[in-house]
Amino acid sequence: MFRSGVDQIWRKVSALALGQTNRTMELPISHKAKFELPEEIVKEFHQTTFCEDFHPNSERCSVFKTESQPTLFSVNLNKALDWLHSHDLPKPLEKEVCSIPVLLFVPDFSTDHLLFHYDGTLQSANLIRKFLDSFGEIIKRSKATVISPSFIPKSKQKEEQDLINRISQATAETSFIKFNFLRIGDFWSYAVKHDCSLLVTTKNYQADLAKVLFHFYKGKNWSDRLSFYMSV
């Protein structure tokens, strides 16, 4: 009977130890693992807002409130291009599109001339508002251009006007134009032609952007000045 009691205790201890071992082995998956890109070229930021001297390759701005989850991923565009061209065909940047914004930046990163893409959806309006909340300290002296579709339903016109007003208040100069751009290449061409430095758009274009980067790198429409902020 005594032996049986000892065996029961031993089995319980063993089960507890095994459970603890299993929990120890359940390591958290890196947020960077969401990317097709090599983890070493993806940088995480945890700030809710960024300071004036922010650079996507820097650790500055740590004085601002931080979150446990990343609030932004930054990727060196040149290194992403090297990775893209190591494959026979273009690959998407993310394995699955996540809610965390991605900033594809050129070495000479600048917010001097922002190009906002508003497509008339609530998703588009929210990602622009999120950008303004995060980068408000940085873009006070920026020039902004807003592109929206030629036709916006009457139910969306107030949202569109409110968004334009908010961008105008956040930047030094704002212009608003109507174009029925349907492809990331259209925004690319406009941005290069008008010397824009940062395109703010939806992640819905992410796969197409990878194709444009893959096929047109260093072509006649290439710009070493243009970075990309993409969100959902």
Q: Which neighbouring-strand residues pair with 136?
A: none
Domain membership flag for residue 22: no
pLDDT score of 116: 98
Domain membership flag for residue 227: yes
Domain membership flag for residue 212: yes
Q: What is the pTM of this model?
A: 0.82
pLDDT score of 22: 43
Domain membership flag for residue 171: yes
The total number of structural domains in the chain stands at 1
One digit per residue, pLDDT tens: the chain, 232 residues? Answer: 545 554 554 455 454 444 443 433 333 456 777 788 888 899 999 888 998 889 998 866 544 556 678 999 999 998 988 888 888 877 888 888 889 999 999 999 999 999 999 999 999 999 999 999 999 999 999 999 999 999 989 999 999 999 999 999 999 999 999 999 988 889 988 999 999 999 999 999 888 888 888 776 655 556 789 999 999 8
CA 54 – CA 57 distance, rounded (Å): 9
Residue (of 129, 139, 119, 100) closest to 232 by Cα position: 100
Residue 89, token pair as written in the block: 């065909």
Quote the domain boundaries for residue 200. Answer: 28-231
Domain membership flag for residue 150: yes
Domain membership flag for residue 179: yes
Q: Nearest 5 degrees, angle CA 200-CA 203-CA 204? A: 120
Alpha-carbon torsion angle 33, 37, 40, 44, nearest 10:
-60
Domain membership flag for residue 15: no
Domain membership flag for residue 10: no
Side chain identity, residue 199: L
CA 18 – CA 148 distance, rounded (Å): 58
Helix (H) or strand (E) holding 229: strand 227-231
Residue 204, token pair as written in the block: 């819905």
- Helical ranges in 41-200 per DSSP H: 77-84, 122-135, 154-170, 184-193
Are the C-beta atoms of 145 and 173 separated by less than 8 Å?
Answer: no
pLDDT score of 21: 39
